[in-house]
Amino acid sequence: MMSAGRGFDQYSGSSPYHLHGQQVLVYQVVVVVVVVVEVVVVVVVVVVVVVVVVVVVVVVVVVVVEVVVVVVVVVVVVD
């Protein structure tokens, strides 16, 4: 009779093994959340870098086109 009681206590929710299992589950959830946050941060950084590169390329193209237009206008007006 007493062994049945100990068996019940051993597998009840208050056993250290159950708490350890809960701790492992919490650690796994924390690791998954951290990995997801890191992936989101990396994706956001990559998107920001791509947007900055596109903006720089557009600005360079606009400046080059303006310089070419000014040179053509000056050459045509001078001639």
Query: CA-to-CA distance for 32 and 23, rounded, in angstroms?
Result: 14
Query: Considering just the CA atoms, what is the radius of gyration of the chain in Å?
Result: 33
Domain contains 33: yes
Count of domains for the chain: 1
Q: How confident is the model at residue 40 (pLDDT cuts 50, 70, 90)?
A: very high
Q: In 1-79, which ranges are continuous DSSP H helix?
A: 2-10, 16-78
Residue of higher predicted confidence among 10 and 33 = 33
Query: Looking at the domain assignment, is residue 61 inside a domain?
Result: yes
Structure tokens at 15: 């056993």
Question: Which domain, by its residues, includes 74?
Answer: 14-78
DSSP letter (8 states) at residue 79? -
Mean pLDDT, rounded, of the chain: 83
- pLDDT classification of 34: cutoffs 50, 70, 90: very high
Q: Cβ contacts of residue 75 below 8 Å, gap of 6+?
A: none
Q: Mean pLDDT across the stretch 36-62?
A: 98
* 0.85 exceeded by pTM: no
